[in-house]
Amino acid sequence: MQKTDAGETGLDGSAATAIVTGQTRVVAIVGDPVRQVKSPVSFNREFSRRKIDAVMVPIQVDSDAFETDMPSILRVSSLGGVVVTMPFKARIMRMLEDCSDAARSVGAVNALRRLPSGGWYGDIFDGVGLVGAVRALGVEPSGLRVALIGAGGAGSAIAFALASAGVRSLAILDRDHARAWDLARRMSRPSVRVEAVASLEPGDADLLVNASPVGMEAADGLPIDSSVLRSDLAVVDIVTRPTTQLLEAARGLGCRHAGGAAMVAAQTTAIIDFLQIGPDRA
């Protein structure tokens, strides 16, 4: 280890987790699978930078045991917050005491903070992260035609955030067409043309967002026919692997592109503020 002004760093120069004590707050990131998540690196670096005595750890909760196991995890008194990833963003809603209006509209949450009552309050930040990742590419969402793959918890949050950012149209694709149709129905608004579609043709979109699980495994392939990709298309894949076949294809064509790490970076600050576990919250 080396010492820096921001704390300790590993031999590769990345920020290391601060010293853990008996007073350290634990922030869990929960998913199935959870091995691919990059959030602990981003969050623990930011905790160290802000001198917050907290550490994020990944917790694998098997999907078929979620309703049994998750309530027990939420009762751990040193738990300072929870970040929720696929496939639990909608399923955890029934375990909350309350949630934000945005989360209620989306029907999902991806961050929880503890209330004074001991219960949990949820909010959704996937959309905040996605819009930040798009802007980091030098692309302004306003006026864009967007193709969104995936209508689950993350996809729903992203759809609402893109609509609020002023996109011109939103085409929603999902293997479960009924789920895509339901999201399109819930998003109905005069300022944005929203529709559920079964396929895309080249030239149909300016921005392609993959908010589906396709790409979490190396053998998954592409979430969409490769003929849709073209050099002037911006591509964001929210899967938090170092790369995916979609990102490799986008890179090969010269597309502006970003992976899940960009989205994680864009929402980390907002979630830490939301958790209210900083030194001024003792």
**In Å, how far are 11, 13, 44, 49 from 4, measured between CA atoms?**
12, 10, 15, 11
Q: Is 191 helix (H, G, I), strand (E, B) or coil?
A: coil
Instruction: Please say whether the beta carbons of 51 and 70 come within 8 A.
Output: no
Please identify which of the residues 3, 38, 51, 89 carries the catalytic annotation: 89
Q: Is 208 helix (H, G, I), strand (E, B) or coil?
A: strand
Residue with token string 């911006």 = 234
* Strands of 79-84's sheet in order across: 54-60, 25-31, 79-84, 111-114, 120-123, 98-99
- Residue 252 structure tokens: 């090969």
Is the peptide bond preceding residue 33 cis, with omega within 30 degrees of 0?
yes
Task: Tally the residues of the chain.
Answer: 282
Query: How many Å is the Cα radius of gyration of the chain?
Result: 19
Angle (CA) 193-249-35 rounded to 5° is 90
Exposure pattern of 53-74 as b/e (b: 16+ CB <10 Å)?
bbbbebeebeeeebeeebeeeb
Task: Establish whether 38 is a catalytic residue.
Answer: no
> How many Å apart are CA 204 and CA 216, to the nearest integer?
26
Residue with token string 């979620």 = 66
Q: Which residue numbers are catalytic?
A: 89
